[in-house]
Amino acid sequence: MAIQLTNSFGGHKEIFVPQTPDRVRLYVCGPTVYDFAHIGNARPAVVFDVLVRVLRRHFGEVVYVRNLTDIDDKINAAARREGVSIGVIAERYAAAYHADMAALGVAPPTVEPKVTDHLPEIIDLIGRLISSGNAYVAERHVLFHVPSFAQYGALSGRSPEEMIAGARVEVAPFKRHPADFVLWKPSSADQPGWDSPWGRGRPGWHIECSAMIERHLGSSIDIHGGGQDLIFPHHENEIAQGTRASYWLHNGFVTVEGHKMSKSIGNVLLVRDLLQEAPGEAIRFALLSAHYRQPLDWTSQTLHQARRSLDRLYGALRHLEGAEGEGDPAPYLAAFHAALDDDLNTPAAFAELFRLARSARDETSPAIRSALRSALVRGGAELGLLQDAPEAWFRRSATGEGEPDRVRIEALVAERAEARADRDFERADRLRTQLQALGIQLEDNGDRTDWRFDRNVITS
């Protein structure tokens, strides 16, 4: 079955066909490494990680490039405050980003270029834009002249005038047009800078991605991705600079309790802080719980719901442990794969996993039980989930202050099982109540009882 993707260039769902058969070239704008990653930064990393997994099911080779921006005025400011080089700041937060994304199950890209390693390519591209008449030099700056590119605004669907009115455009007397944007800017003696034909300076933000795409993927690529906030001006400017992609994909914003994340109101949720509250797999599940193109509103219940959902799926895997036979999982994954192939519809894919989990409860055929378990594991792998042993998940999910002693829990569960076997149901009920008071949820499966800890249901 073919993959369908919604192309932001036109806004329609299209069948995905790579430019080169069985080889996909994908570029996604990565982080600017001046601070720790928040969940808004994590969403595109997780979404496009899943897309790469889906593409690799269909195509022989997927070359995935995600950059690191390590030249930026925010990095400069942080370095100045600490009295260190920009490399110290960039390396610190790049390492933190890698650690946080790894905790969310995000695999490294095929190539992760850094801006500081691509100054020759950037300077060369700027020189070609000047030669073609698309850019000009003014007061030690190089600017792209927007009216020189007639298709400017085609991605966002707005005229230059509308975009100028709705965006923060730097006003400078040397600009030929208010929408002209910087390709190269001068650096003062105390700012990082590199030699160029236009003097010592540093690149503008937009030119770096175009240069790195050309260097690592060529003049035209299959997919260019990023957050919705990058459509204008970043991706619009990339197109003006010469970046060509068959499909442009953008994920929706992440809000917190209905509000945009902002340091001024104190609602920025850092991934590293959320990892103190829940396993990375729960955060990943939450980030995939809404369709990637739709907004995702993070509430006080988001992580709790994600953990409960994963408890159900891991509970099904635990129930299927020891299943023997050589059952074929492919028929059970058909609807799951169809959901992901339909514009990466993760909510529908999750619904299919839960349907498989429900089917497992009453299934007795060893071959079907084996096939269901394989389907859950394989489907989970495509989403970056369900790769732990069930008991490892439940141990990890049960961390936090107030967790009861495991030995005590097992003793109470065993005592209750003995009471049930003796048909002393009054005593069994008392033990269930005692366990519930400790925050233990029980699930009876025939002669076996599974349990999990949930701090949110502890009673006094």
At 450 the pLDDT is 80
Q: Sort 131 into a burial class: Cβ within 10 Å, 0-12 / 13-18 / 19+.
A: exposed
399 torsion bin: left (phi>0), alpha (psi -120 to 50), beta (else): beta
Half-sphere exposure of 445 (CA within 13 A, CB side): 17
Measured CA to CA, the distance from residue 145 to residue 130 in angstroms comes to: 10
Check residue 175 and report its DSSP letter: -
On whether 238 is known to bind a ligand per the annotation, the reply is: yes
Contact 189, 128 (CB under 8 A): no
The yes-or-no verdict on residue 457 having pLDDT over 50 is no
Given a contact cutoff of 8 angstroms between Cβ atoms, the answer to whether 269 and 261 are in contact is: yes
Asked which of 158-162, 280-284, 310-314, 406-410 is least confident by mean pLDDT, the reply is 406-410
Q: What angle do CA 365, 367, 373 make, to 5 degrees?
A: 100
The answer on pLDDT for 279 being more than 50 is yes
Which pair of tokens denotes residue 56? 């690799």
Q: Is 337 marked as a binding-site residue?
A: no
3-state DSSP call for residue 167? coil
Confidence of residue 431 (pLDDT cuts 50, 70, 90): confident
Binned at pLDDT 50, 70 and 90, residue 325 comes out as low
Condensed to tens digits (0 to 9), the pLDDT of residues 83-140 reads: 999 999 999 999 999 999 999 999 999 999 999 999 999 999 999 999 999 999 999 9
Q: Is 263 annotated as a binding residue?
A: yes
- Residue 233: is the preceding peptide bond cis (ω within 30°)? yes
Q: Is a pLDDT exceeding 60 seen at residue 278?
A: yes
Is pLDDT of 321 > 60? yes
Band (438; pLDDT cuts 50, 70, 90): low
**Alpha carbon distances (Å) from 76 to 31, 41, 123, 187, 253:** 15, 20, 20, 11, 27
Task: Please check if 13 is assigned to a binding site.
Answer: no
